[in-house]
């Protein structure tokens, strides 16, 4: 590193690299535990900056996490829409009674919470908790010694070094720290393209349900938003959308696709707020949760197919898992080692089983007859329908759903044999 670097005299306990959801959530948790925390963000992040390419669907397992981050007010109806998923499948409609995913827990709902609301709010919460923001500053290198870390940064004002006892990688899907530390991503194919659009003039379904229509190998999604707006998202086999050329032509084909889908809200009076957003290729990336004594959180650790709707939830969940792994520990060498081991175990137990299922769903070459039978079994069994919604809401583990499904499948077979 250059000898012209200036040294920042204020030592840190935790240096968080990346100032989006996972980074800010991590910073809030560690600041709440009494640590001196700084967030290094390469963007100059004004208060209005937010991510646009997102379903904004905050899964029900995530909603309670907002409270610990000082964001309980985002659950209010002027900031988000309390919602629940309805799946229109080849074997019927997966829906359960009531507004929540769990009848025993009235507040077990999802939120359609736009990033234009969430992103500024979590940054403000981090500042309110005493987190220091070092914006428009890139981390160029990290060096570890027996006392902790030296973080080398670069900004327009020049190079600067910071000292920290723990460094956290929250720098997103294209993580620079992953490259510096040799934490190569396991890339899994995603065989669908995606298009995102915001509209007025679409009437929200009853109880503000978010509707997911499985149409052949595609998934068409409708999310009611605050202010009577709607986000429509199409995850489609790539060959279907490759010919949708030009902004106007793409929008026309997109609305034509949604028009007449079973159980979906009518788009007859839909008015676009702007052009469609999207991507043609977005493989899932999975990295080790710890590399070189640096924990990875959010998209830096796990950036999965957006069709699963877990981006926001897993960002906040990884931050919580990391913080819980360090609760009651010090940041000396032994405490850091134990905390990282605990985080690795929590990450692998809690998140990787979901990731494997999500990666499987990213492939379109499936037996449609088998798929139809699977959903007929789910739709014909109220308990199993509830388990499926709980799985997609990441409230139960895949193994629990698989056990329930096999039980339902055997019961269905026994009933058929008695006829």
Residue 386: its pLDDT value, please? 94
Predicted confidence (pLDDT) per residue in 11-70, tens digit: 999 999 999 999 999 999 999 999 999 999 998 876 778 888 899 999 999 999 999 999
- Give tens-digit pLDDT for 18-33: 999 999 999 999 999 9
| Per-residue pLDDT tens digits for 215-228 | 999 999 999 999 99
Q: Which two structure tokens, joined as six digits, stand for 128?
A: 């309110």
Pairwise CA distance, residues 231 & 224, whole Å: 7
Question: Nearest-5° angle of CA 120, CA 211, CA 358?
Answer: 75
pLDDT in tens, 308-328: 999 999 999 999 999 999 999
Q: CA nearest 24: which of 115, 159, 151?
A: 115
pLDDT tens, position by position, 186-219? 999 999 999 999 999 999 999 999 999 999 999 9
Residue 245 has pLDDT above 70, yes or no: yes
Confidence of residue 8 (pLDDT cuts 50, 70, 90): confident
Terminal Cα distance for the chain, rounded: 78
- DSSP E strands: which ranges in 201-258? 210-215, 218-224, 230-237
Closest alpha carbon to 261 in 91, 89, 388, 83: 89
Strand (E) positions, 180-264? 186-188, 192-200, 210-215, 218-224, 230-237
- DSSP-derived secondary structure for 39-72: EEESS---TT----SS--EE-TTTTTHHHHTT-G
Q: Specify the fold of 8-52+118-188+283-358.
A: FAD/NAD(P)-binding domain (3.50.50)
State residue 418's pLDDT score: 61
Residue in 39, 106, 26 with CA at minimum distance from that of residue 339: 26
Angstrom distance (rounded) from CA 337 to CA 357: 30
**What pLDDT was estimated at residue 4?**
61
pLDDT band at 106 (very low <50, low <70, confident <90, very high): confident
Q: Which residues pair with 53 in a beta bridge?
A: none
Q: pLDDT at residue 349 above 80? A: yes
**Residue of 110, 109, 122 whose CA lies nearest to 57:** 110
pLDDT single digits (tens) 390-408: 999 999 999 999 999 999 9
Number of Cβ within a 10 Å radius of residue 22: 32
Average pLDDT over residues 75-82: 97
Beta bridge partners of 385: none
Helix ranges (H only) for 271-397 are 311-326, 333-350, 352-361, 368-379, 382-392
What element of type H or E holds 37? strand 37-41
Q: Once rounded to an integer, what is the mean pLDDT over residues 340-351?
A: 98
Contacts of 388 (CB under 8 A, 6+ apart): 87, 94, 378, 401
Residue 1, pLDDT > 70, answer no
């Amino acid at each position: 590193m250059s000898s012209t670097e200036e040294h920042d005299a204020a030592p840190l306990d935790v240096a968080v690299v990346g100032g989006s959801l996972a980074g800010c959530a991590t910073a809030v948790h560690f600041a709440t535990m009494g640590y001196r925390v700084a967030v290094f963000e390469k963007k100059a992040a004004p208060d209005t900056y937010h991510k646009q390419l997102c379903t904004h669907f905050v899964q029900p397992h995530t909603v309670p996490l907002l409270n610990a981050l000082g964001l309980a007010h985002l659950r209010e109806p002027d900031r988000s829409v309390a919602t629940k998923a309805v799946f229109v499948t080849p074997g019927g409609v997966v829906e359960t009674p009531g507004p929540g995913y769990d009848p025993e827990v009235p507040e077990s709902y999802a939120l359609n919470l736009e990033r234009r609301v969430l992103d500024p709010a979590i940054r403000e919460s981090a500042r309110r908790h005493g987190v220091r923001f070092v914006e428009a500053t890139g981390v160029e290198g990290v060096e570890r010694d027996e006392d902790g870390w030296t973080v080398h940064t670069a900004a327009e004002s020049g190079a600067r070094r910071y000292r920290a006892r723990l460094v956290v990688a929250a720098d997103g899907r294209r993580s620079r720290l992953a490259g510096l530390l040799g934490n190569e991503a396991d890339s899994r194919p995603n065989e669908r393209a995606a298009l995102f659009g915001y509209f007025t003039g679409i009437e929200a379904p009853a109880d503000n349900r978010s509707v997911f229509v499985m149409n052949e190998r595609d998934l068409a999604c409708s999310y009611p938003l605050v202010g009577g707006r709607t986000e429509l998202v199409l995850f489609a086999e790539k060959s279907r959308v490759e010919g949708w050329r030009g902004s106007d032509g793409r929008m026309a084909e997109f609305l034509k696709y949604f028009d007449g889908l079973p159980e979906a809200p009518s788009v007859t009076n839909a008015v676009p707020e702007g052009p469609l957003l999207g991507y043609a290729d977005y493989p899932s990336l999975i990295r080790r949760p710890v590399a070189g004594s640096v924990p990875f959180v959010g998209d830096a650790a796990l950036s999965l197919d957006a069709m699963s709707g877990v981006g926001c939830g897993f960002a906040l969940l990884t931050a919580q898992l990391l913080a819980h792994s360090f609760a009651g520990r010090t940041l000396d060498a032994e405490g850091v080692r134990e905390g990282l081991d605990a985080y690795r175990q929590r990450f692998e137990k809690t998140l990787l089983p979901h990731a494997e299922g999500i990666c499987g769903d990213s492939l379109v070459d499936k037996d449609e007859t088998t798929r139809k039978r699977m959903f007929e079994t789910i739709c014909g069994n109220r308990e199993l329908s509830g388990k499926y919604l709980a799985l997609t809401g990441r409230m139960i583990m895949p193994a629990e759903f698989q056990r329930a499904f096999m039980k339902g499948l055997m019961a269905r077979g026994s009933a058929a044999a008695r006829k």
